[in-house]
Amino acid sequence: MRKTEEFLRKIAFNIRRDRELDLNRRGFIASTLSLMGVFFVSSTPLIALSGNREEEAHESEVFIANTDDIKIGESFGFSYPDENDPALVIRLSENEYRAYNIKCTHLMCPVFWEPEEGHLECPCHHGFFNVDDGSVIAGPPQRALPSIDLKIKNNKIYAVGISQAQH
């Protein structure tokens, strides 16, 4: 081991000990600047992406209908977040609405609003869902209907997001 160290010292003949500290400082500064550059370059797409996410969130705001288009107790069909996701908004009172993706969580049959009973119903195997939160009341479904978040602005109803309840 000692012989190896001596050999290495001999072959390192052009390293000036008096400049070693200076080189280390320069090396440290250069490394730091390089790392900052790498960090900046690698984070730029993330910064751009976060900007896009805000735009996407804004873009995912989808107009459904005017409030006047849906009478109290009635439902209105739309698609959200895209055309392959059928959904219903139900007007429960003057200012109270609920919206759900209507693919039954059992085997994906379309669920419909049953105003007489006040619940959502799947005709395929008689699954029933609570209109207040989309939870299962009865039947084979094991999961609640995904709930669509709504925003009402200037008498217009918008879908602004979707969430899956845990029951």
Is residue 51 a contact partner of residue 36, using CB atoms and an 8 Å limit? no
Count of residues of this chain found to bind ligand FES when the rule CB under 6 A is applied = 11
Binding residue (CB under 6 A) for ligand FES from 65, 109, 137, 150 = 109
SS (H, E, C) 98-152: EEEECECCCCCCECEEECCCCEEEECCCCEEEECCCCCEEECCCCCCCCEEEEEE
Binding residue (CB under 6 A) for ligand FES from 90, 122, 136, 148 = 122
The contact pattern for ligand FES, residues 66-105, with x = CB under 6 A and - = no contact, is: --------------------------------------x-
Check binding of 146 to ligand FES (CB under 6 A). no
Question: Apex CA 98: angle with CA 65 and CA 93, to 5°?
Answer: 85
Binding site for ligand FES (CB under 6 A): 104, 106-107, 109, 122, 124-125, 127, 139-141
